[in-house]
Structure 1
Amino acid sequence: MPYELKHVFASLPQMERGQSKVISGDPKGNNFLYTNGKCVIIRNIDDPVIADIYTEHAHPVQVAKYAPSGFYIASGDTSGKVRIWDTTQKEHLLKYEYQPFSGKIMDIAWTEDSKRIAVVGEGREKFAAVFLWDSGSSVGELTGHSKLINSVDVRQKRPYRIVTGSDDTTAEFFEGPPFKFKFTLKDHTQFVNSVRFSPDGAHFATAGADGQIFLYDGQKGELVRSLGGDKAHNGGIYAISWSPDSSQLISASGDRTVKLWDVDSGSALTTFSFGSEVADQQLGCLWQKNHLLSVSLSGNINYLDKNNSNRPIRVLKGHTKSIQCLTVHKGDGHSYIYSGNALTRMLSLTLCAPRWDSENGETECFSGKGHTNSVCRMAVNQNNELVTCSMDDTVRFTETSSKDYSGDVVKMDSQPKSVSVSSEGVSLAVCINRIVLLKDKKKVFTLDNLDFEPEVGALQPKGTTAAVGDAEGKIHLYSVCGGTLSSTEPLLEVAAKLTDLSFSPDGAFLAALDEHKVLTVFSVTDNYAVKGNFYGHHAKPVTMSWNPDCEHIATGGMDMNVYVWDINDEDKRIKLPDTHRLHHVSSLAWLDAHTLVTTSHDASVKQWTITY
């Protein structure tokens, strides 16, 4: 194969304030999984860079759970569909698909023999169902609740029991199979967010928005005690998870803490405190072998240290929303990937701009207050500054070594669409109805009152020439001299509106992408004569990147495909089909001559090895 997927830097869980997030593990303890949009993400718990993404749901997925056998995963989406799919093969073949009710699936639980599945959520006529995994036949009725059911769990030994927790402030206890309503548990005063049986089946616990955790007998459903006295947390509790030996459990709360409990005494052994921001609320947790994980409202996944409650062992960071752009940079002996996303609507105005280590996937996010709207384009200049333009009408210069938004901000007179840099310290910002030249982090020249609508711009690497593509398919060339822009010949034309424009690293070629799915390469040294027209995309291409060898160029588009073109042979190309499957390729860049990085609206970053 001329291409191979090298790394997947997966998205974080997509979070919602006031909504618990289910993360679960496989029975062998090697992997954990969670959901983001229409994706189910499976990650190795010891090495989270090892990741796999399941993308076959047509609607956003709420929850996914391994069967106790480990051979299958059941995942449920917002339409009420439950898909049961294979885990042993890369293709994740679908085994069965059911729709137990019409509405959002909130939680799923298997019986220990991997033959029965209980699902709960927000249905129109019913809120829960329990059925055989291979036929869909009902094995009981889970009735009694009057509102959305948030959580369900099954006792992992016979006799089987099911417990559910609901927004109606109650938990219901069922015996079976076939499963029948036994009685209602009314100890909580607010929403019941999480219910979980201990692995040995001796107990189950319920946790609610009232900050309380109650412990019950696993077979009879009788109340044993509450944990922490009158209140386990000062805020609502969104998730609980048992230790493998059933002697302890952890709880995640909106009070920005995770607590480790001794079940016999009902007392907290350790309290893990996070920051003071809303984003530090803890909405999910998982105890997997020796790993204790929690999920923050920001989406960060925290590996907790039982011996040190002051700081996590590690924190997995990244994106929870679609990635708009990326760039690459080498420094400190490492290759780094920078990515920018759309503004999240739930948190503060700080825009996440992670820096990924290209080898191990370790991620650092810039701290402080960044852009207040979507980042459109980014590049790294010769001063090792990350230059970004945003829909907040600014161009920002951020030192890559500082890792925080303490750099200079240049306010534009209109919204910037693209930004490019040269080796001479010059930057070019193409904005609505104007072109702006910047030097030393200041505006030095502006062209406005244009007779065309600029869409995208590019600076020649040495900064002597600027190219600006417009909405009519014309490319305007400017000479850059003395901090000014002077129009120069020739006026270039392509088939349609420009979507991207870029000079080759050696400045010998100019490549243009247009909405008519054509890549046009001009030879700069031959007075911009057309070197070649490259066809292949069957939907609008939106991004491109020159290979460092200046002989290949990669393009990505709305058809979800990436093509790597040989500019010396129009018929020679490498096709990477369905690069991100669910969404189009939003940006791409080369780490080196054989390593291509792509991003998409699935919030993941992928590395590909290309062989010519």
Structure 2
Amino acid sequence: MSKNNEPATSTDLVVADMERNMAVIVKEDVDEPPRTSSLKAPNLELIGHKDAVFSVRFSPDGQHLATAGMDSNIFLWDVYGECENYALLQGHKNAVLEICWNWDGTQVCSASADKTVGIWDAAYGKLIRKLKGHASFVNGIDASKKSDNLVLSCADDCTCKLWDSRSGDVVKTIPHSFQVTSCCFNEDTTQIITGGLDGIIRIYEMATFTPSIVLPQLPELITGIRLAPDGGYLLSHSLDAGLRVWDINAFFEGESRCVKLMRGHTQGASGNLLRCSWSPDLSMASCGSGDGFVYVYDTTSLAIKYRLPGHRSIVNDVDFHPIEPIICSVSSDHSVIMGEILP
């Protein structure tokens, strides 16, 4: 396969090869539909992971992409141009189950099955600090959206921990009765949101570390939660293959905080923690699926807007680009696929 510098058409597949640090285009002679993004080609596969990939996140400015999975490695990629793999973060001793960027994109935080949280320098690819304190697999991770060095993690040890990433100290441990599978901060870092094995999403006030909102129990465990960009809504995915939107505003007057339910994808038999994501304008929501497709829902009509092929196994995570109409998905088949969609 040789490098081709001609502009790519919509059906070209561009493969970003980690070993050669470049994008390789497979050409097909077809008419070119209108492009909707600044990607090198409409669809790209980023190759480098040697095992299942569990987590994907775009950097806050949309210039970079982080992926991580069973091989215990975190890959950092350029989104544009040749999609170069510019850093390989190594240091975990077991699978990396979830990753996130800090507020300004200078650090990547990781949750690992080796019971630790990693804080990494995103520019130099170096481990800054390992946070130790969990007694079992760390399932979820989130970083404060303010410049206060706070990091949140949750684990199979039935706890959610708030950390000072600069000192490495545990600020607070929030006990739960069951394993905690997903966690996040609210928009201004005044609340902590958790979901877990008991199917209950709890919202804790940072001032008291007590729950101010407890959402209705779902029939199956929570596999992923994601705060909406506007901070007023929460997206959740559970083992019953339900993708739900919750109104988490303090002053709520409706009958149920679950305001939307989207179905059509599958969980599959694996029990993987399938994650979910919002588009920046909240018009779309997406989640992993057990059938190898990426499902993108219209959040107004609740209909499936896109059913995107390409993966050959379970899709574990998806993320929308913060600026352009681009979505990236990762799978148990070791693949990372990034492509443009209609806005």
Q: TM-score, normalised by structure 1?
A: 0.46
Deviations 1:133-178 (A, max 9, x none): xxxxxxxxxxxxxxxxxxxxxxxxxxxxxxxxxxxxxxxxxxxxxx
SS in 2 for 1:492: coil
Equivalent pair of 1:5/1:607 in contact (CA under 8 Å)? no
Equivalent pair of 2:190/2:206 in contact (CA under 8 Å)? yes
The reply on whether 1:534 has 2:262 as its aligned counterpart is yes
Change (3 A) 1:457 1:46: closer
Determine the structure 1 residue equivalent to 2:143: 421
SS in 2 for 1:395: strand
C-alpha separation in 1, matches of 2:186 and 2:281: 16
Equivalent positions of 1:122-201 (< 5 A) are none
- Aligned AA (2:210): S
Determine the structure 2 residue equivalent to 1:328: 58
Q: Which of residues 148, 170, 190 is equivalent to 1:443?
A: 170
Change (3 A) 1:470 1:358: same
Determine the structure 2 residue equivalent to 1:355: 76
Deviations 1:190-229 (A, max 9, x none): xxxxxxxxxxxxxxxxxxxxxxxxxxxxxxxxxxxxxxxx
Change (3 A) 1:478 1:7: farther
- Aligned AA (1:574): K
Change (3 A) 1:491 1:601: closer
Determine the structure 1 residue equivalent to 2:325: 594
CA RMSD of aligned residues (A): 2.8
Determine the structure 2 residue equivalent to 1:464: 190
SS in 1 for 2:65: strand
> 1:569, CA displacement in angstroms?
2.1
C-alpha separation in 2, matches of 1:46 and 1:465: 41
Q: Which of residues 466, 469, 487 is equivalent to 2:211?
A: 487
> 1:49, CA displacement in angstroms?
3.1
Determine the structure 2 residue equivalent to 1:573: 304
- Aligned AA (2:65): I
Deviations 1:28-52 (A, max 9, x none): xxxxxxxxxxxxxxxxx99643259
- Aligned AA (2:201): I
Equivalent pair of 2:97/2:140 in contact (CA under 8 Å)? yes
Deviations 1:8-36 (A, max 9, x none): 445779xxxxxxxxxxxxxxxxxxxxxxx
Determine the structure 2 residue equivalent to 1:501: 225
> 1:394, CA displacement in angstroms?
0.8
Equivalent positions of 1:56-71 (< 5 A) are none
Determine the structure 2 residue equivalent to 1:318: 48
Deviations 1:375-424 (A, max 9, x none): 0100001252101111111111112112222x011012222111112213
Equivalent pair of 2:54/2:68 in contact (CA under 8 Å)? yes
Equivalent positions of 1:45-56 (< 5 A) are 48-50=23-25
Determine the structure 1 residue equivalent to 2:238: 514
Equivalent positions of 1:189-228 (< 5 A) are none
> 1:339, CA displacement in angstroms?
0.9
- Aligned AA (1:607): M
Determine the structure 2 residue equivalent to 1:550: 282
Q: Which of residues 112, 115, 121 is equivalent to 1:390?
A: 112
SS in 2 for 1:542: coil
- Aligned AA (1:543): R
C-alpha separation in 1, matches of 2:15 and 2:203: 38
> 1:317, CA displacement in angstroms?
7.4
C-alpha separation in 1, matches of 2:210 and 2:120: 29
- Aligned AA (2:171): V
C-alpha separation in 2, matches of 1:5 and 1:534: 29
- Aligned AA (1:476): R
Change (3 A) 1:429 1:6: farther
Equivalent positions of 1:361-380 (< 5 A) are 361-366=83-88, 369-380=90-101
Determine the structure 2 residue equivalent to 1:477: 203
> 1:438, CA displacement in angstroms?
1.5
Equivalent pair of 1:324/1:587 in contact (CA under 8 Å)? yes
- Aligned AA (2:244): T
Equivalent pair of 1:543/1:557 in contact (CA under 8 Å)? no
> 1:602, CA displacement in angstroms?
2.6
- Aligned AA (1:390): S
Equivalent pair of 2:246/2:259 in contact (CA under 8 Å)? yes
The reply on whether 1:412 has 2:139 as its aligned counterpart is no
- Aligned AA (1:606): I
> 1:5, CA displacement in angstroms?
6.7
Change (3 A) 1:519 1:6: farther
Change (3 A) 1:457 1:9: farther
C-alpha separation in 1, matches of 2:52 and 2:162: 29
Q: Any stretches of 5+ residues in structure 1 without a counterpart?
A: 14-44, 53-87, 91-315, 344-350
Equivalent positions of 1:276-355 (< 5 A) are 318-330=48-60, 335-343=63-71, 351-355=72-76
C-alpha separation in 2, matches of 1:428 and 1:387: 10
C-alpha separation in 2, matches of 1:512 and 1:437: 21
Q: Kindly, what percent of the aligned residue pairs are identical?
A: 20
Q: Any stretches of 5+ residues in structure 2 without a counterpart?
A: 1-9, 31-45
Deviations 1:493-523 (A, max 9, x none): 3232111111101111011111111111011
C-alpha separation in 2, matches of 1:523 and 1:46: 43
> 1:476, CA displacement in angstroms?
1.5
> 1:465, CA displacement in angstroms?
1.7
C-alpha separation in 2, matches of 1:430 and 1:563: 26
Aligned residues: 302
Change (3 A) 1:576 1:462: same
SS in 2 for 1:550: coil
Which has the higher Rg, Structure 1 or Structure 2? 1
- Aligned AA (1:411): K
C-alpha separation in 2, matches of 1:504 and 1:437: 21
- Aligned AA (2:78): D
Change (3 A) 1:9 1:375: farther
